[in-house]
Amino acid sequence: MLRFNSSPAAVSRETGGELGGALVGEPPNGAIPVWPVQRIFAPLLGATTTVVHESWRVDGPVMYGHCEDIVWRKAGGLLFGVIELDEADFKGTPERSSLQAASEEAYRRIFRLLDAEQVPHLWRVWNYLAEINLETQGLERYRQFNVGRQDAFLECQRGATGNVPAACAIGLVGGPLSIAFMAGETPAVPVENPRQVSAYNYPADYGPRSPTFSRAALAYLPGQELLFISGTASIVGHQTVHPGDVVGQCREAMANIDAVLGEAKRLCRSEPFELGKLSYRVYVRQAGDFPAIRETLAPLIGKAEIVYVQADICRQDLLLEIEAMASRTLESR
């Protein structure tokens, strides 16, 4: 059984049952755990602590390793890993930026590891990069990342449409390219949103390569069903709606998540997932918008677990992005 926990408590270095996780917020004063942990150094909003510790725990023995800058752990046909690459270590050219090169190499390494460990199917990926909306070499950095990511998918024979993982791509003020990922022995079931064009089918207006992710994914372990909802924003079709209106964008993002839950209901093996029973992470571009976002979400999700982070979104006209996950026990038949 895979269990998710989010806590403001001090980070423990105990490794029993820890598959991996994240530190979200300001850099902690204490030691970083020895297990795979993604460091997301961005301000928390509305929190009583400066850092949140998120972890995935499993029952039974855990294998671990370090390969090509990836720290990873594996248990019961499930693998969690984290890789951080410094763009300065990759030489750019006029045709290929250092970020594109780093992104492609990061995903190539991830796929090599998954093949070697026989867990070839990516379920969920968390991508963080500095200055995501900055334009360099004539192309926004998020679009450079998309080129590198898709090139690696194709080179490693993963395909870039259809059965691709749930994911997010978020901008931080600085730091390395940081990618955390969860993969399994069996493929996840991709879930798309009828209100939106699938991201991998976006027109060329959004860059030379489309983003390689599904809107959500259903994944399975023995006796358990997991739902991963990708970073979701105020997009209908493929266009941003409610520009400049943070409340409108928040409501639209939640309408998209609700639509994804409707599609998941057709595909899932458990009882339908509900808005008020998901765990959320909300990325807010401007800290001053936080009170309005929290007030808008309150009647929609009730007392659901939620973490607010100040960070940049993949389009400059998007003011927030919301991701979510949930787990259900499957009854024996």
Active site residues: 321
Interacting residues of 288 by C-beta distance below 8 A, sequence separation 6+: none
8 A C-beta contact, residue 62 and residue 109? no
Q: Torsion over CA of 196, 199, 200 and 202, rounded to 10 degrees? A: 80
**Residue count of the chain:** 333
8 A C-beta contact, residue 237 and residue 196? yes
- Three-state SS string across the chain, please? CEEEEEECCCCCCCCCCEEEEEEEECCCCCCCCCCCEEEEECCECCCCCCEEEEEEEECCCCEEEEECCEEEEEECCEEEEEEEECHHHCCCECCECHHHHHHHHHHHHHHHHHHHHCCCEEEEEEEEEECCCCEECCEEHHHHHHHHHHHHHHHCCCCCCCCCCEEEEEEECCCCEEEEEEEECCCCEEECCCCECCHHHCCHHHCCCCCCCECEEEEEECCEEEEEEEEECCEEECEECCCCCHHHHHHHHHHHHHHHHHHHHHHCCCCCCCHHHCEEEEEECCHHHHHHHHHHHHHHHCCCCEEEEECECCCCCCCEEEEEEEEEECCCC
8 A C-beta contact, residue 241 and residue 248? yes
